[in-house]
């Protein structure tokens, strides 16, 4: 395709990412591009405004056209004619990418443009972004005009969230690096099939039985009780950073432990260790820069209710444990040490919904659970169930406890995300 485009028309759907990718591609490939026209509905107005801000920063003139009824062919044609076609310069070379928006929008806008340029059909082209191979296809041409756009367009996760109007409200994890040695010990333990993690659960039980902690493990102020620690619990205790240890080796409580650090230790033992361990394995073997791997995202729209729960978190927000970006494609990872089917299934549906909400059709999900495959429910059983119930075949990978060791985890992630992205 000869990129002499002066005017790029893009229809916006319920996910702004395809419009962003398309706009970026044609901006880079079309030196004569002067204007972008975003066509949207009331439902997608916010995305159009966010996209406009992004491309204005790139020095491109951005025009907007709002359709009042995306289902009415008559209304679409009339409003598109008035807001876009009548304003296009006579000497313009027009390209319309119809990846986003409704089918009715696409059909009516294509017809209107063809009528407008019936005497100059060579000045008009159409395309769509394929969600399966990440390439742009021109109508009437068999082969794509682009390569894999994940290798060319690489927004950060924060830039993608900004397109949606979302922000990350999670506090920076200031303690993560303090637990690096323990993560390495977990890696070694899982590789050697040791029962090292049993000490985590024993230590948690000690804290749960302590009457001076609330159910959220927040210190109330009284003195801690002594705890009878076994060998496994002491082994874990010794590996915890000294100022994060809730007990001494003899079981006597550490009355000087900072409450914030105590809460972090509890969250780590309850399952945060799995998030940090998965991040560690991905960073160890992924060939991409570490900037494209993120942990602990708490995402919300500033327009949502600002009411908070007892732990000080917004009631309306959603969390992503680990995010891997392959170009602009999102792999959202949810981690749970639970083996219980209802909990695992609920987390599976949640991660499927949220990954698509942010990353669109291209997004993929990974659920890492504590399911033991030799029992009634296997990780594969749950994966099949999630795929069948959601209709998203191939869009989620479910792993169980046997996949925790680094060799199995690396192998499964490599097969699912892509061999070319792993060592």
pLDDT in tens, 82-128: 999 999 999 999 999 999 999 999 999 999 999 999 999 999 999 99
Q: Are strands 364-368 and 396-399 parallel, antiparallel or unpaired?
A: parallel
| Residue 366 within a domain | yes
d(CA 148, CA 345): 33
d(CA 59, CA 269): 50
User: 2 pLDDT band (50/70/90 cuts)?
Assistant: low
Rounded to a whole number of angstroms, the distance between the first and last alpha carbons of the chain is 36
d(CA 10, CA 295): 33
Q: What is the pTM of this model?
A: 0.90
351-379 average pLDDT score: 90
Q: Do 79 and 119 have their domain in common?
A: yes
Q: Do 100 and 215 have their domain in common?
A: no
Q: Do 134 and 17 have their domain in common?
A: yes
Q: Do 264 and 315 have their domain in common?
A: no
Q: Which of 152, 184, 203 is the last residue of a domain?
A: 152
Q: Do 208 and 136 have their domain in common?
A: no
Q: Which of 215, 237, 268 is the last residue of a domain?
A: 268
Is the pLDDT assigned to residue 331 strictly greater than 90?
yes
42-65 average pLDDT score: 93
> How much is the pLDDT for 219?
47
> How much is the pLDDT for 258?
82
User: 39 pLDDT band (50/70/90 cuts)?
Assistant: very high
Mean pLDDT across the chain, nearest whole number?
A: 88
Q: Do 264 and 297 have their domain in common?
A: no
| Residue 239 within a domain | yes
CA dihedral 185, 188, 192, 198 (to 10 degrees): 30
> How much is the pLDDT for 224?
56
Q: Do 247 and 353 have their domain in common?
A: no
Choose between 303 and 164: higher pLDDT. 164
> How much is the pLDDT for 351?
96
pLDDT, tens only, 7-21: 999 999 999 999 999
| Residue 62 within a domain | yes
pLDDT, tens only, 372-408: 876 668 999 999 999 999 888 899 999 999 999 999 9
Is the pLDDT assigned to residue 172 strictly greater than 50?
yes
**Region label for 242, one of left (φ > 0), alpha (ψ between -120 and 50) or beta (otherwise):** alpha
Q: Do 137 and 38 have their domain in common?
A: yes
| Residue 199 within a domain | yes
pLDDT, tens only, 277-291: 999 999 999 887 766
| Residue 386 within a domain | yes
> How much is the pLDDT for 314?
73
Q: Do 19 and 95 have their domain in common?
A: yes
d(CA 170, CA 161): 14
> How much is the pLDDT for 63?
97
46-71 average pLDDT score: 93
Token pair recorded at residue 207: 């804290």
pLDDT, tens only, 122-157: 999 999 999 999 999 999 999 999 999 999 999 999
Residues 6+ apart with CB under 8 A from 239: 181, 182, 185
39-43, 77-81, 316-320 — which is least confidently predicted? 316-320
CATH code for the domain in which residue 120 is found? 3.40.50.10770
Q: Position of tokens 């009437």?
A: 140
Token pair recorded at residue 390: 């959601």
> How much is the pLDDT for 310?
64
> How much is the pLDDT for 207?
73
User: Which runs of E-coded beta strand occur in 140-273?
Assistant: 167-168
- Written as one string, the DSSP assignment of 182-208 is HHHHHHHHHHTT--TTHHHHHHHHHHH
| Residue 327 within a domain | yes
User: 307 pLDDT band (50/70/90 cuts)?
Assistant: confident
> How much is the pLDDT for 1?
57
As for how many domains the chain has, the answer is 3
Q: Do 416 and 282 have their domain in common?
A: yes
CATH code for the domain in which residue 330 is found? 3.40.1350.10
Is the pLDDT assigned to residue 312 strictly greater than 70?
no
> How much is the pLDDT for 420?
87
Is the pLDDT assigned to residue 194 strictly greater than 70?
no
Q: Do 122 and 181 have their domain in common?
A: no
Residue numbers of the domain that contains 356: 278-421
Q: Do 262 and 289 have their domain in common?
A: no
Percent of the chain beyond pLDDT 90?
A: 62
| Residue 163 within a domain | no
Q: Which of 210, 244, 268 is the last residue of a domain?
A: 268
d(CA 243, CA 272): 18
Cβ-count burial 130-154 (b if 16+ within 10 Å, e if not): beeebbbbbeeeeebebeebbebbb
d(CA 314, CA 399): 30
Q: In what order do the strands lie in the sheet with 364-368?
A: 167-168, 293-300, 318-326, 329-335, 364-368, 396-399
> How much is the pLDDT for 217?
43
| Residue 40 within a domain | yes
pLDDT, tens only, 204-250: 777 766 544 444 444 444 455 667 778 888 888 888 998 998 888 78
């Amino acid at each position: 395709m000869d990129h002499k485009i002066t005017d790029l028309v893009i229809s916006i759907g319920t996910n702004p990412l395809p419009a962003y990718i398309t706009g970026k591609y044609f901006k880079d490939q079309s030196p004569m591009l002067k204007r972008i026209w975003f066509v949207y509905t009331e439902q997608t107005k916010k995305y159009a405004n966010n996209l406009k801000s992004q491309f204005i920063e790139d020095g491109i003139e951005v025009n907007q056209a709002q359709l009042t009824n995306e289902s009415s062919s008559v209304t679409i044609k009339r409003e598109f004619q008035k807001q876009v076609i009548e304003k296009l310069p006579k000497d313009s070379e027009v390209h319309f990418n119809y990846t986003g928006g409704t089918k009715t929008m696409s059909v009516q806008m294509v017809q209107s443009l063809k009528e407008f340029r019936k005497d100059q059909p060579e000045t008009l082209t159409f395309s769509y972004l394929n969600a399966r191979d990440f390439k742009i296809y021109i109508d009437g041409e068999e082969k794509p005009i682009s390569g894999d756009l994940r290798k060319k367009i690489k927004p950060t996760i924060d830039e993608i969230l900004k397109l949606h109007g979302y922000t990350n409200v999670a506090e920076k994890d200031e303690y993560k690096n303090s637990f690096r040695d323990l993560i390495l010990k977990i890696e070694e333990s899982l590789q050697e099939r040791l029962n090292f993690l049993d000490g985590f659960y024993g230590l948690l039980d000690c804290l749960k039985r302590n009457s001076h902690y609330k159910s959220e493990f927040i210190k109330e102020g009284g003195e801690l009780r002594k705890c009878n620690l076994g060998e496994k619990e002491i082994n874990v205790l010794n590996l915890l950073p000294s100022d994060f240890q809730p007990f001494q080796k003899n079981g006597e409580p550490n009355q000087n432990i900072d409450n914030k650090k105590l809460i972090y230790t509890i969250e780590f033992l309850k399952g945060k260790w799995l998030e940090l361990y998965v991040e560690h394995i991905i960073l160890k073997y992924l060939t991409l820069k570490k900037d494209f791997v993120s942990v602990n995202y708490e995402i919300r729209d500033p327009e949502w209710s600002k009411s908070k729960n007892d732990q000080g978190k917004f009631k309306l927000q959603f969390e992503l444990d680990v995010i891997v970006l392959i170009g602009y494609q999102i792999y959202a990872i949810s981690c749970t040490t639970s083996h219980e089917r209802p909990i695992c299934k609920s987390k599976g549906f949640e991660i499927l919904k949220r990954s698509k909400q942010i990353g669109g059709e291209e997004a993929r999900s990974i659920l890492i659970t504590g399911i033991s495959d030799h029992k009634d429910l296997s990780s594969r059983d749950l994966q099949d169930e999630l795929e069948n119930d959601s209709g998203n075949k191939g869009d989620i990978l479910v792993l169980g406890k046997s996949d925790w060791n680094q060799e199995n985890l690396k192998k499964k992630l490599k097969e699912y995300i892509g061999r070319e992205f792993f060592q």
